[in-house]
């Protein structure tokens, strides 16, 4: 059965511009970078997080601390999936007490990943605020979660797959949608490979 | 990738990929111990019974803490204060406790095969915390984790296990695990404390400790049980110490970046001297900390959904 080709919605330049705009918005809303720390959700969220930090450094000349987080231990479905997720190492080497945390992920979908991330961050201390930055918002929230900074809003149907590819993680850089309507893959259920929640 | 068996009974039949999965997962859990709040909600709602029929400090507390830090509910059982004193059997004990709806049992027992026996009479998952002289898989896993932490790999390393090989479950699990991971393994002890045909494990065998440790990367020292001396298996404690005790003098002959390990508890001055135990080459306390991470990894990996339930 021929697979429907995934179309690129955002290309490499588009991603770069989105990151630049998000960095500016973050600085505007927080009146500078002094109070900020950035935490990226592994794997691609962490990649985007360090790009945002780089941009902020370019603009304001301030190095904002960047941490990475594996949220799999806080998921609400960690025992109901047949394939256990591989747990990667969380690294948050700074104090988040009273700081504005910018939480970064690649795709915002049902909101469950972000819920898990919020619970995990709170276990590290009491931040002044947590603000959410995502590269793509694809709708279909199942929890009351909303982003503060969005790269691109992409309307999708629930069975579509949104694939974010980033240099250093993958061999290309773009955002693609793989439209639903393919019967074969049971894999679509297990949310691997860049699928946000 | 997941573990093939719902239980952890030993390392004899565990594949390289499974051992690597446990060690890799333990790296991520090691970080949780350094957090201000040393807790993740992963095993919430799961109840674990720690069934210890033999005394234990490290293993028992390590498992209890690992379970609590994963937010599981834990209950510990000690033979001396239980109805085993009234003659209740192992099977009745565990089935009665299982009737209170538990999910996992961590068992330490003096009879080899006790954990295997349990898997046939209860529904809960079973983790072997030491069964007689047979296996102590989590100890060997944390030993391998510690070695890998220092050297980056286990392939090609030379590991020498010294002591009462005949009665040691730690040695057996280590032999199986280390060989699967590509290390070269030697055992050393007085001939009365070496099992018959031990070379069939695929290990080099020595009764001279200086020969044994020559060229070793890791020296893992087992406690000598004083009861064995009572049974006439070696003439005196002092003689054991003279011939097999690991001292800094002996280790001077190793001219490399070697490591000293001991599963604990130590008889200071018998199989190991204090300066070695507390010296720079010793990773004995790291072993204990790593034991936490390894046990958390094991509990997590075993808690995944099983094929039949999908």
Question: Between chains, do A79 and B1 touch, taking CB under 8 Å as contact?
Answer: no
User: Residue B8 and residue B116: Cα distance in Å, rounded?
Assistant: 10
Task: Report residue B12 as tokens.
Answer: 């004899």
SS3 B208: coil
Window from A73-82, A135-144, B202-211, B245-254 with minimum mean pLDDT: A73-82
Residue A191: per-residue pLDDT: 42
| Short-list B174, B241, B244, B237, CA closest to B202 | B174
Q: Number of residue pairs across A and B with CB atoms under 8 Å? A: 50
- State percent of chain A over pLDDT 70: 87
Tens digit of each residue's pLDDT, chain B (310 residues): 789 999 999 999 999 999 999 999 999 999 999 998 999 999 999 999 999 999 888 999 999 999 999 999 999 988 888 888 899 999 999 889 889 899 999 999 999 999 999 999 999 999 999 999 999 999 999 999 999 999 999 999 999 999 999 999 999 999 999 999 999 999 999 999 999 999 999 999 999 999 999 999 999 999 998 777 778 888 888 999 999 999 999 998 887 789 999 999 999 999 999 999 999 999 999 999 999 999 999 999 999 866 544 4
Question: Between chains, do B42 and A124 touch, taking CB under 8 Å as contact?
Answer: no
- The answer to whether A124 faces chain B, any CB pair under 8 Å, is yes
Which of B35, B41, B301 comes nearest A74 by C-beta? B41
Q: What is the pLDDT of residues A11-27, one digit of tens each?
A: 999 999 999 999 999 99
User: Residue B298 and residue A89: Cα distance in Å, rounded?
Assistant: 16
ipTM over 0.85: no
Show the CA angle centred on residue B86, arms to residues B81 and B90, nearest 5°: 80
Question: Between chains, do B41 and A83 touch, taking CB under 8 Å as contact?
Answer: no
User: Does residue A13 come out as left (phi exceeding 0), alpha (psi in the -120 to 50 range) or beta?
Assistant: alpha
Question: Between chains, do A86 and B1 touch, taking CB under 8 Å as contact?
Answer: yes
pTM of the model: 0.88
Residue B7: per-residue pLDDT: 96
Which of B41, B300, B310 comes nearest A82 by C-beta? B310
Instruction: Please report residues of A whose CB lies closer than 8 A to that of B24.
Output: 86
User: Residue B76 and residue B97: Cα distance in Å, rounded?
Assistant: 11
DSSP A141-173: -SSS---SEEEEE----TT-EEEEE-BTTBSS-
Q: Are B293 and B146 in contact (CB under 8 A)?
A: no
Among residues 81-120 of chain A, which lie with CB inside 8 Å of chain B? 81-84, 86-91, 119-120
Indicate the pLDDT class of residue A186, thresholds 50, 70 and 90: very low
Residue B200 bridge partners (DSSP): none
Residue B279: per-residue pLDDT: 93
Task: Report residue B244 as tokens.
Answer: 């097999």
Q: Are B137 and B128 in contact (CB under 8 A)?
A: yes
Instruction: Please report residues of A whose CB lies closer than 8 A to that of B36.
Output: 124-125
Q: Are A161 and A106 in contact (CB under 8 A)?
A: no
Q: Are B244 and B190 in contact (CB under 8 A)?
A: yes
Task: Report residue B295 as tokens.
Answer: 């046990």
Residue A187: per-residue pLDDT: 44
Alpha-carbon dihedral sign for residues A180, A185, A186, A189? negative
Residue B231: per-residue pLDDT: 83
Distant-in-sequence, close-in-space partners of A62: CB < 8 Å, separation ≥ 6: A32, A33, A34, A56
Interface test mutation site (partner A, options B27, B31, B38, B70, max chain A beta carbons within 10 A): B31
Residue A5: per-residue pLDDT: 60
Residue B307: per-residue pLDDT: 54
Question: Between chains, do A74 and B39 touch, taking CB under 8 Å as contact?
Answer: no
DSSP B101-138: T-SEEEEEESSTTHHHHHHHH-SSEEEEEEETTTB-HH
User: Residue B51 and residue B214: Cα distance in Å, rounded?
Assistant: 40
Strand locations in A31-160 (E): 36-41, 66-69, 100-108, 129-137, 149-153
Phi, psi angles (nearest 5°) of residue B52: -110, 110
| Short-list B299, B239, B296, CA closest to B32 | B296
Q: For A159-174, what is the mean pLDDT?
A: 91
| Short-list B230, B212, B38, B53, CA closest to B130 | B53
Give the CA distances from residue B135 to residues A135, A146, B24, B46, B119, in Å, rounded to whole numbers and listed in that order: 50, 51, 22, 25, 16
Q: How many CB atoms lie within 10 A of CB B95?
A: 14
Q: Are A146 and A108 in contact (CB under 8 A)?
A: no
User: Residue B189 and residue B204: Cα distance in Å, rounded?
Assistant: 12
């Amino acid at each position: 059965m021929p697979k429907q080709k995934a179309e690129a919605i955002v290309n490499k330049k588009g991603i770069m511009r989105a990151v630049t705009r998000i960095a500016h918005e973050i600085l505007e809303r927080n009146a500078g970078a002094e109070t900020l720390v950035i935490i990226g959700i592994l794997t691609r969220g962490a990649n985007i997080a360090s790009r945002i930090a780089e941009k902020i450094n370019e603009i304001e000349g301030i190095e904002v601390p960047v941490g990475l987080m594996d949220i799999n231990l806080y998921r609400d479905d960690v025992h109901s999936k047949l394939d256990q997720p591989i747990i990667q190492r969380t690294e948050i080497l700074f104090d988040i007490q009273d700081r504005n945390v910018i939480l970064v992920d690649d795709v915002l979908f049902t909101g469950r990943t972000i819920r898990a991330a919020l619970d995990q961050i709170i276990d590290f201390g009491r931040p002044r605020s947590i603000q959410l930055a995502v590269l793509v918002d694809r709708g279909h929230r199942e929890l009351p979660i909303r982003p503060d900074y969005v790269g691109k809003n992409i309307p999708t149907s629930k069975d579509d797959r949104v694939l974010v590819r980033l240099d250093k993680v993958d061999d290309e850089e773009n955002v693609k949608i793989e439209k639903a309507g393919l019967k074969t893959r049971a894999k679509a259920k297990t949310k691997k490979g860049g699928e946000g929640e | 990738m997941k573990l093939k068996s719902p239980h952890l009974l030993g390392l004899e039949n565990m594949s390289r990929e499974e051992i690597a999965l446990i060690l890799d997962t333990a790296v991520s859990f090691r970080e949780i111990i350094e957090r201000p709040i040393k807790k993740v909600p992963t095993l919430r709602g799961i109840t674990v019974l720690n069934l210890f029929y033999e005394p234990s400090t490290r293993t028992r507390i390590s498992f209890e803490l690992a379970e609590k830090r994963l937010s599981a509910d834990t209950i510990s059982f000690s033979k001396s204060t239980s109805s085993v004193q009234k003659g209740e059997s192992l099977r009745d004990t565990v089935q009665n406790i299982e009737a209170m709806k538990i999910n996992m049992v961590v068992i330490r027992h003096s009879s080899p095969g006790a954990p295997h026996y349990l898997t046939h009479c209860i529904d809960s998952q079973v983790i072997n915390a030491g069964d007689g002289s047979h296996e102590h898989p989590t100890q060997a896993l944390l030993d391998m984790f510690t070695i890998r932490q220092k050297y980056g790999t286990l392939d090609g390393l030379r590991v020498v296990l010294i002591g009462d090989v005949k009665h040691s479950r730690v040695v057996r699990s280590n032999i199986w695990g280390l060989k699967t991971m590509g290390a070269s393994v030697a055992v050393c002890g007085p001939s009365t404390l070496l099992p018959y045909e031990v070379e069939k494990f695929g290990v080099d065998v020595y009764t001279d400790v200086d020969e044994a440790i020559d060229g070793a990367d890791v020296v893992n020292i087992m406690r000598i049980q004083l009861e064995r001396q009572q049974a006439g298996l070696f003439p005196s404690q002092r003689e054991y110490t003279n011939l097999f005790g690991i001292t800094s003098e002996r280790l001077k002959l190793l001219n490399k970046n070697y490591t000293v390990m001991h599963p604990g508890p130590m008889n200071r001055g018998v199989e190991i001297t204090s300066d070695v135990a507390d010296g720079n080459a010793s990773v004995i306390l790291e072993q204990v900390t790593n034991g936490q991470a390894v046990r958390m990894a094991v509990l997590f990996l075993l808690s995944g959904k099983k094929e039949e339930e999908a």
